[in-house]
Structure 1
Amino acid sequence: MVYFEKDSVYQSAREWVLAAGEIIRSTIDDPREVDTKKNANDLVTEMDRKVEAYFAEKIRTTYPDHLILSEEGFGDQVDDLKGTVWIIDPIDGTMNFVHQKRTFAISLAIFHQGIGEIGFIYDVMADIIYEVKKGEGAYKNGQKLAPLTDKKNLSESILMLNHLWCTPNDQVNHLKLGELVRTVRGARSYGSAALEFAYLSEGIVDAYISFHLQPWDYAAGVILYEEVGGQIVQATGEPLTYLKQEPTVAGHPNIVNQIIEDYIELK
């Protein structure tokens, strides 16, 4: 069995997240090397790779029996969540990073024997860190986040939609989603899934839909949000696997099932 000393791993991870944030901040105005991946809007920079390499080196040196599931090629082949698995997005919101130099985050989650134990979402430019140890509360810059309120109506909710929901190749009924947008109080998109889960956890928005999230986009956010009582499932209603791209619905438990049953129609 892989040894897992939760407090020690937590402290190491927190130190590395903050240090990686300083690396990014100190060079935010430097010229960028910007490449594309799957399409012209799927951006990656030399900083994404540099930060991921930094985490990979730290983890493999300190915890050689741990595995890494990550976005930019420095991870391992991860087929299950046995043992200890670090799930990392070095810059979540790369388009924001490139174009706006803000509203992006480092997202880091640590799973042990299939359970999300530790999560960090670090809004680098705002210097705001969201952090969680399962069962010990979720925090924003040291202030404990309050549990979600007992009741929430869909008509009084603010919904976040990943901007890619409207692409023509989605296997989803867009008319139904349009009805949902007209039903809720307002709709938002921030361009960083990690920060969107952080905002859910603060209770300043109430639901989130994306059909394109990878495990590194949502893993830390799920641990954070579940700690305050939020619910996150696949758009089919099934549990997340954390191993592949999955259409995701997150929100206050009062409204998640309503959104899936009334407004999500996968083709």
Structure 2
Amino acid sequence: MTNWKQIDTYAKKWIEEAGEKLRCSFEKKLNIETKTNPNDLVTNMDRETEQFFLDKITETFPGHRVLGEEGMGDAVSDLKGIVWIIDPIDGTMNFIHQQRNFAISIGILEDGIGKIGLVYDVVHDELYHAFKGQGAYMNDKEIPKLKEVAVKEAILSLNATWVTENKKLDPSILAPLVRDVRGTRSYGSAALELAFVAAGRLDAYITPRLSPWDFAGGAILIEEAGGEVSDLYGNPLDYIKGGSLFVSKPGLHKEIRENYLKNL
């Protein structure tokens, strides 16, 4: 029988240790490279942090598999058994330029079901964590269940790129929503934006494209906080291929889907 309490304890310990290593790296020179385009950045700390988790998980839980952004783990093509989905630094551009507004994200799934979600805001030392069926927390404080909010009173997290020009979504679809909400925000870290929705700091977050390591930890947080999670079409998330993402407080999800996203 799986000892989930032990897995949860180790995951929290390791994510805090990794966060301390990242804070200590602020005074050091980073090795910065590009991946798919000039703005898709990766540093030595991204790779070192992922390797840190891989070493710990492999040693402690040899039967578990790891799907990580930097590709150091397993070639995961299914979600059988226990899979850790890890983003060692979500918001690498912020990590490089600001030394803030980035996070470590971990989602732990069993047979495709999210069991543990962790998002660590390293600079503010805020660990958002959830264990399926036991609610969501920020450090030692339980996050209250999310309450309904109307579009006109909502704060929406959305990258401005998606309302100007992109190949994934007609900008005219999101423009009316941006006009009708109370305000919009963009933090440059999907993991943090998901954690902020879970904590009630944001009311919704929409993006046409994410990888599974961007949302695995945060999606579990939101579900445990009583929020709603799907892709833009209302379908379950794909934890292997990734895709679009729409998370919100309860009720808001239905209102936005029916009134703003119906023409997708």
Aligned match of 1:138 = 136
Write the letter of the residue equivalent to 1:83. G
Question: Is the CA contact (8 Å cut-off) linking 2:30 and 2:44 kept in structure 1?
Answer: yes
Given that residues 163 and 172 in structure 2 are in contact (C-alpha distance below 8 angstroms), is that contact kept between their aligned partners in structure 1?
Answer: no
Query: What residue is the counterpart of 2:181 in the other structure?
Result: 184
> Mapping of 1:63-82 within 5 angstroms?
63-82=61-80
Q: Say whether residues 1:235 and 2:235 are aligned partners.
A: no
Q: Is 2:146–2:250's contact at 8 Å kept on the other side of the alignment?
A: no
Which residue number in structure 2 is paired with residue 8 of structure 1?
6
Does 2:103 match 1:83? Answer: no
4+ runs deviating over 6 angstroms: none
Shift of residue 107 of structure 1? Answer: 0.4
Contact preservation (8 Å) 1:93, 1:105: yes
CA distance in 2, matches of 1:96, 1:40: 15
The match for 1:261 is 258
Maintained 8 Å contact 1:4/1:84: no
Report the CA distance between 1:257 and its aligned residue. 2.5
Q: Name the CA distance, whole Å, in 2 between partners of 1:140 and 1:33.
A: 32
The Cα of 1:166 is off from its aligned counterpart by 4.3
TM-score by length of 2: 0.96
Gaps of 5+ in 1: none
Match of 2:210 among 190, 210, 213: 213
Instruction: Name the amino acid aligned to 2:66.
Output: I
SS of equivalent to 1:216: helix
Shift of 1:265: 6.4
Check whether the contact 2:86–2:213 (CA below 8 A) recurs between aligned residues. Answer: yes
Deviations 1:186-241 (A, max 9, x none): 00000111110111011121011011211100011010010011101011111112
Q: Partner of 1:202 in structure 2?
A: 199
Alignment of structure 1 residues 51-70 onto 2, 5 Å: 51-70=49-68
1:117-170 superposed Cα distances (whole Å, 9 cap, x missing partner): 111111111111111111112111100000011x31111100001354246342
* Aligned twin of 2:190: 193
The corresponding residue for 1:36 is 34
Tell me the number of residue pairs that the alignment of Structure 1 and Structure 2 aligns: 264
Return the alpha-carbon distance in structure 2 between the equivalents of residues 226 and 207 of structure 1.
13
Q: Percent identity?
A: 47
SS in 1 for 2:26: coil
Contact 2:163 2:174 in 1 (8 A): no
CA gap 1:163/1:28 in 2 versus in 1, 3 angstroms: farther
| Residue of structure 2 in register with 1:246 after alignment | 243
* Residue pairs, 1:25-174, within 5 angstroms: 25-149=23-147, 151-166=148-163, 168-174=165-171
User: RMSD between aligned alpha carbons?
Assistant: 1.4
Aligned equivalents of 2:15 and 2:161: distance in 1? Answer: 28
Choose from 219, 222, 232 the match for 2:219: 222
Cα displacement string for residues 27-48 of structure 1 (whole angstroms, at most 9, x for unaligned residues): 1121111111111111110000
